[in-house]
Structures are given as structure tokens and as C-alpha cells.
């Protein structure tokens, strides 16, 4: 199909290739596909309707999953009194450089921060609401906006001073329940990220230096981006009794004793949308996995003045046939050429395009084009629903399998520092034994720029030498530069 020139054609094409300038490619794809735009506030972004529709897909799936497993939604104020943040000094210090404060309206009022996360304000309320074991477990989630006044430059979705996320905060009567909860939420994130976003992750604990301020330990999901950098897709924290002691969350247990409660918190943010663009996109733009795509099937009618009525009518018929089964849209705008539309919907990453022209109508078929591999084939209208179901599943699987191959091919074992350094330099994720000391971790970071994305304990008999100091260890760490 020859592409007809249009006065707006420039909007629907990228000016740079993914392999040549990844960073510029990412900026263009996010903006031109209509996911997000820079805001006139330094370090902030506007999530545009198409990007927000992706977020709604993520929300829809995760929200159902959380509710199915006992979580309720609520809303706490964006304002956090300074004295709350200070109550847990480790937590406070972890956020200090990024906290934004509001100007005092009244000298008598205290100083309020904009939430960098909501542990403190939620746990103050929890301490009032929880009295007995009968009030537990308590599982509350918030979908809200978070403010962290980052100094580094904006990267749309990845590093902005305000972003959207969900934060879940649970309270339990035993530490064991806590451990199960932390794992459950990490598993739900993994399922979301791998089976919906089609992005494979490495899952493991954070090292102490990367653990959430105030937590016993943090489980993180780490994905590998095409430029060799790690991107954290979600975290789940076991808070132990730490915050419960600071905020006085106590409950009367079945045995008649007052005890401090056990807690977890976990979050997943709009930065996952950035990962989605980076992992699957190509030189034509976004490539969205069908299960997260706001539009799964785009119908493009191809007509001239003579055939217009007939083709549009047939397009409408096909749309009605697919509605309710797929997220389908008919692009019947008269002011754009088919070629321009092909470009635009490819840029937006719609998984499947259906073309309908006069010849197709005669043959009772449509032409189906896959976004992920460009494969084009005619499909009889009669078998269209079945064929689409099969194709969308195939696209979903192909995207995941390609991303997994990339992750596997770019995650390499380093048996010593020299190998680790070379891997990082070559934009790989390095698997290496690590003795567990902050000294070795710090030295590696200083010399290679890579941080420990997560760690895994080896099974019983395996062990090896720390890539830095050479000490025997059972801990495998995943090293990469990070967003």
C-alpha cells in the first residue's frame, strides 16, 4: 500500500531509530504516541488520554486482583505533618531531600509535607482504628498522586516530581502472615507485569542499602531495559513491627495480651508505562501487548469517492461484530488518508489492524496486519472472531517471549570483578556472588556505576566467590545501572 502524503504526516512518524539514540527515541515515542507530554512545571508531566487509558487497564486488572484478595480502597490526605515524618527518623531521612512542603497559611499551623509515600499518616490512623485481633488483618490500598521533588532531569513516566501509583498498607497479628502478604503482593505484581505487560522480571530482595527506609526487607521486581539499565517495576516491603512501635499500633490478641502489630506496604506506579514503551517499542513507535492495549483492533476503511458509502458501511458492520469481544475502533475520519492512519495507529502500537477495501468486500474478507511482526494476511469475515482471538494471543506471547530472550541473553554470570565491570560496560545485567557487605557493594557501584537490583539466596549446596572481595557466599546479586 503506497502511503499518501498528508499535511500532518510529520506527527505520525518518529525521527530517530531506537538503536541509534535510545533516549531521544523514547522521548519521541512517548510524546508522539500521545502517552504523555512535558508539563510547564519543571520535572512534571501530563499523562495524556492514551497513556491514561493504559494506566486504567493496569488499574483495572490490579484493582480487581487486590479486591479479590481482601484489599479495600480508601483515601488519605496528601498533607503529612512534619512531626509525623520525623517520628520515624530512618524513614524521614530516606525522603528528606525529595520532600516538598506547603507554605504556611497561618503562623500557628504546623508544617505540612506533600506525601512522598503515606506510611506515617496512614499508621497514625491505624493506631486509632485497631483495638483487637478481630480488627485484623487490615488491608487498605490507595490509588493516588505522589510528590518527590527530584533534582535530576525529567524522564517522562520514569522520573518526575509527581507520579501516580497505588500504595497498599496491611496490618497483621503475626510476622508469618506478614511474610505471606509481602510475597502475595510481589507475586500479583509479577503476574501483572509478565502476563499483561509482557515484561519478564527478576524478583528478589533488595540489599540493605536499597531497602525501603524503615522496612525489614524489600522484595523488588526488576526489568531490564534495551539500553541495559534496570528498571524497578514494583516493590513489596515487610515492615515488621517497626512502624507499629513508632506509631503505637497495638491490638488485644486472643490470648488477652496487648501486642504490637506486624505490617507490610507495597506499591506499583505509572513508571511501568515507561517500561512498556521501552521494552516493546520499535522504529515505528509503540507496540502494545494486546492485554493492556486500550485499542486492540483498529479498522481502517480504504475507499475512493465512488466506494466510500459501501466501504464505511461494511466497516461499521465489522466493528459491531467485534464490539464486546475486543477493544475495537473504526477510524472513519474522512480527512486523513489510509496511509496516514496506518502510520498513526502503528505509532500508537495497536496490536492488530484490519483493512477493508472494495476488493475485500467482494471476497468477503478483511486484511489483517500484525503490529509486532508486520505479517499481513486476508481473513474471511466468517472466521474473523476466532482468528482475532488466536492472533491477539499470539502477539501477546511473541512480545513476552522476545522480551524474555532479551533478558536471558543480556543477563550474564560474572565470576570476578573484571568480568562484572566488562558486563556493565557492555550494557548487560550481571549475576555475581556477593558477600553481603556494604563495602563491596559500594566499591562496585563506585567503579562500575551499577547497583544491586536484587539478590537471591542460592539453594543448599551452591556457593561461590564474591565478585569484589572473593569471600565465599551463597548470595547471588543482580547488578545493573538503574533508572
Q: Which residues bind a copy of itself (CB under 8 A)?
A: 37, 39-42, 44-49, 51-53, 55-56, 72-81, 84, 100-103, 105, 109, 112, 114, 121, 124-125, 128, 134, 140, 144-145, 147, 149, 161-162, 164, 333, 335
Bridge-based pairing of strands 72-73 and 138-147 is parallel
Phi and psi, residue 60, nearest 5°: -55, -50
Q: Is the peptide bond before 227 cis (omega within 30 degrees of 0)?
A: no
Q: What angle do CA 194, 196, 199 make, to 5 degrees?
A: 35
Report the alpha-carbon distance of residue 23 to residue 20 in Å, rounded. Answer: 9
Smallest Cα–Cα separation from 32: which of 284, 288, 351? 284
Q: In angstroms, give the least distance from the CB of 299 to a copy of itself.
A: 19
| Nearer to a copy of itself (CB atom), residue 74 or residue 385 | 74
| Nearer to a copy of itself (CB atom), residue 106 or residue 446 | 106
Smallest Cα–Cα separation from 173: which of 132, 214, 215, 140? 132
Q: In angstroms, give the least distance from the CB of 144 to a copy of itself.
A: 7
Q: Write down the residue that cell numbers 468477503 correspond to.
A: 364
| Nearer to a copy of itself (CB atom), residue 295 or residue 407 | 295
3-state secondary structure of 205: strand
Residues 14 and 32: beta-carbon distance below 8 Å: yes
Smallest Cα–Cα separation from 325: which of 367, 289, 356, 297? 297
Q: In angstroms, give the least distance from the CB of 131 to a copy of itself.
A: 8
| Nearer to a copy of itself (CB atom), residue 263 or residue 448 | 263
Q: In angstroms, give the least distance from the CB of 188 to a copy of itself.
A: 19
Residues 387 and 375: beta-carbon distance below 8 Å: no
Report the alpha-carbon distance of residue 450 to residue 446 in Å, rounded. Answer: 8
Smallest Cα–Cα separation from 307: which of 366, 367, 357? 357
| Nearer to a copy of itself (CB atom), residue 161 or residue 453 | 161
Cα diameter, the chain: 84
Q: In angstroms, give the least distance from the CB of 226 to a copy of itself.
A: 26
> How far are the Cα atoms of 40, 82, 107, 278, 303 from residue 85, in angstroms, in the given order?
29, 5, 20, 35, 63
| Nearer to a copy of itself (CB atom), residue 119 or residue 124 | 124
Q: In angstroms, give the least distance from the CB of 140 to a copy of itself.
A: 6
| Nearer to a copy of itself (CB atom), residue 147 or residue 298 | 147
Q: In angstroms, give the least distance from the CB of 414 to a copy of itself.
A: 39
> How far are the Cα atoms of 153, 214, 282, 339, 438 from residue 483, in angstroms, in the given order?
12, 22, 20, 36, 21
Phi and psi, residue 6, nearest 5°: -140, 155
| Nearer to a copy of itself (CB atom), residue 78 or residue 379 | 78
Q: In angstroms, give the least distance from the CB of 134 to a copy of itself.
A: 5
Residues 200 and 181: beta-carbon distance below 8 Å: no
| Nearer to a copy of itself (CB atom), residue 147 or residue 430 | 147
| Nearer to a copy of itself (CB atom), residue 53 or residue 394 | 53
Q: In angstroms, give the least distance from the CB of 106 to a copy of itself.
A: 9
Report the alpha-carbon distance of residue 384 to residue 461 in Å, rounded. Answer: 54
Q: In angstroms, give the least distance from the CB of 463 to a copy of itself.
A: 47
Amino acid at each position: 500500500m503506497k502511503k499518501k502524503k498528508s499535511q500532518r504526516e510529520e506527527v505520525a512518524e518518529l525521527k530517530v531509530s531506537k538503536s541509534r539514540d535510545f533516549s531521544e527515541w523514547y522521548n519521541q515515542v512517548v510524546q508522539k504516541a500521545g502517552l504523555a507530554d512535558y508539563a510547564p512545571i519543571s520535572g512534571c508531566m501530563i499523562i495524556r488520554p492514551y497513556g491514561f487509558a493504559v494506566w486504567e487497564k493496569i488499574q483495572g486488572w490490579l484493582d480487581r486482583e487486590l479486591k479479590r484478595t481482601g484489599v479495600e480502597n480508601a483515601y488519605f490526605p496528601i498533607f503529612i505533618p512534619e512531626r509525623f515524618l520525623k517520628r520515624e527518623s530512618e524513614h524521614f531521612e530516606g525522603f528528606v531531600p525529595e520532600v516538598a512542603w506547603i507554605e504556611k497559611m497561618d503562623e500557628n499551623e504546623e508544617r505540612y509535607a506533600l506525601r512522598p509515600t503515606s506510611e506515617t499518616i496512614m499508621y497514625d490512623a491505624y493506631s486509632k482504628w485497631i483495638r483487637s485481633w478481630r480488627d485484623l488483618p487490615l488491608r487498605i490500598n490507595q490509588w493516588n498522586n505522589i510528590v518527590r521533588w527530584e533534582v535530576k532531569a525529567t524522564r517522562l513516566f520514569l522520573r518526575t516530581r509527581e507520579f501516580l501509583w497505588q500504595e497498599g498498607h496491611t496490618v497483621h497479628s503475626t510476622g508469618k502472615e506478614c511474610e505471606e502478604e509481602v510475597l502475595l503482593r510481589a507475586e500479583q505484581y509479577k503476574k501483572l507485569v509478565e502476563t499483561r505487560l509482557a515484561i519478564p522480571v527478576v524478583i528478589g530482595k533488595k540489599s540493605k542499602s536499597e531497602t525501603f527506609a524503615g522496612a525489614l526487607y524489600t522484595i523488588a521486581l526488576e526489568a531490564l531495559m534495551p539500553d541495559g539499565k534496570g528498571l524497578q517495576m514494583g516493590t513489596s516491603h515487610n515492615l515488621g513491627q517497626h512502624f507499629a512501635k513508632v506509631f503505637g499500633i497495638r491490638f488485644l490478641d486472643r490470648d488477652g495480651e496487648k501486642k504490637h502489630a506486624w505490617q507490610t506496604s507495597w506499591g506499583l506506579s505509572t513508571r511501568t508505562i515507561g517500561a512498556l514503551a521501552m521494552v516493546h517499542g520499535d522504529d515505528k513507535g509503540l507496540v502494545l501487548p494486546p492485554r493492556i492495549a486500550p485499542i486492540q483492533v483498529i479498522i481502517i476503511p480504504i475507499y475512493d469517492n465512488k466506494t466510500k458509502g459501501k466501504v464505511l458501511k461494511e466497516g461499521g458492520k465489522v466493528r459491531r461484530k467485534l464490539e464486546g469481544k475486543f477493544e475495537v475502533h473504526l477510524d472513519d475520519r474522512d480527512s486523513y488518508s489510509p496511509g496516514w492512519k496506518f502510520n498513526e495507529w502503528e505509532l500508537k502500537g495497536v496490536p492488530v489492524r484490519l483493512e477493508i477495501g472494495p476488493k475485500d468486500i467482494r471476497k468477503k474478507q478483511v486484511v489483517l496486519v500484525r503490529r509486532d511482526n508486520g505479517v499481513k494476511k486476508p481473513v474471511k469475515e466468517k472466521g474473523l472472531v476466532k482468528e482475532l482471538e488466536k492472533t491477539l494471543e499470539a502477539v501477546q506471547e511473541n512480545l513476552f517471549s522476545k522480551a524474555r530472550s532479551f533478558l536471558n541473553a543480556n543477563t550474564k554470570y560474572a565470576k570476578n570483578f573484571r568480568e562484572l565491570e566488562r558486563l556493565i560496560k557492555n550494557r548487560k545485567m550481571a549475576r555475581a556472588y556477593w558477600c553481603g557487605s556494604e563495602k563491596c557493594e559500594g566499591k562496585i557501584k563506585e567503579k562500575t556505576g551499577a547497583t544491586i537490583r536484587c539478590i537471591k539466596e542460592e539453594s543448599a549446596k551452591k556457593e561461590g566467590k564474591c565478585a569484589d572481595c572473593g569471600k565465599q557466599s551463597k548470595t547471588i546479586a543482580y547488578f545493573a545501572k538503574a533508572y
